[in-house]
Amino acid sequence: MSSYNAPFEIHVHGQVALRSDASFDQLQEALKPLWHYAGARSLADGAASAYEEEPGIQFDPKEHLLQMCWTVRGDEDFRQSLDEMCMNLNELSEQGAAIEVTFYDAEFDEEEEDRGAESRDDFMMLFVGPNPAAIMQVQRDLLVQDVVNMMERHFDGSELGGVVAEIDKLFGQRFDDLVNSLEIGRPPRGGGGSGHGGGRRPRHLH
């Protein structure tokens, strides 16, 4: 399918802290689902966004940082590329990070809007991290930020400690459930070590 006939303009936006030993070659392979979808032969070839004013895909080797502000023309099948990219980035990430993806309906125009039609615009938030605890931490932090911002319209921030504590309880229970599910069927370890498969429990920030 020609990119000129693609029904969506898809914008990928996020910043991921990478392990200090992550190399450009490893990152290029991890991001292959993106640049290959765009029809490029390498990350360097596919890092440029469809819009010149956007910085595209950038790797800062000194800061060990991946930054994405990148648009590609495509279809619903791009979601599969996103799933593969997230799985790959989990292996290279140093901590949890959120990646925003917006699907803009390229075929929707003002005349359709005037007729009451709805566009197929869509928004999704993806999360990557070295382990489940790191991913849950960034999910928790974003939720707390959203809830506090909304409730501060009606309450002082100092009154919201109980709300934040309840959010922490929910994520703590979700993490414990995950660890327990990973332990099912696992043979007992010798030496009395716990060895939870889910990594450390997310810290609770108040």
Give me the pLDDT at residue 168, please: 87
Share of the chain above pLDDT 70, in %: 82
In angstroms, the CA 175 to CA 178 distance is: 5
For 46-56, the pLDDT digits (tens) are 999 999 999 99
Q: What does the mean pLDDT of the chain come to?
A: 85
C-alpha distances out from residue 115 to 45, 103, 108, 118, 121, Å = 41, 22, 11, 9, 17
C-alpha distances out from residue 121 to 80, 86, 112, 141, Å = 18, 22, 14, 26
For 143-202, the pLDDT digits (tens) are 988 998 999 999 998 888 898 898 888 888 888 887 777 666 555 554 443 333 445 555
Residues 6 or more apart from 164 whose CB is under 8 A from it? Answer: 144, 147, 148, 206
Give me the pLDDT at residue 115, please: 57
pLDDT band at 205 (very low <50, low <70, confident <90, very high): very low
Q: Of 107, 105, 109, nearest to 121 (Cα)?
A: 105
Residues, the chain:
206
**Model pTM?**
0.78
- Residue with more model confidence, 114 or 29: 29
Give the amino acid at 2: S
Q: Of 17, 171, 173, nearest to 89 (Cα)?
A: 17
| Burial (CB count within 10 angstroms: exposed 0-12, middle 13-18, buried 19+), residue 111 | exposed
Residue 72 · residue 34 · CB < 8 Å: yes
Q: Which domains, from first to last, does the chain contain?
A: 3-130 (3.60.90), 134-192 (no CATH)
Q: Taking 80 as the threshold, does the pLDDT of residue 89 lie above it? A: yes
> What integer is the mean pLDDT of 2-24?
89
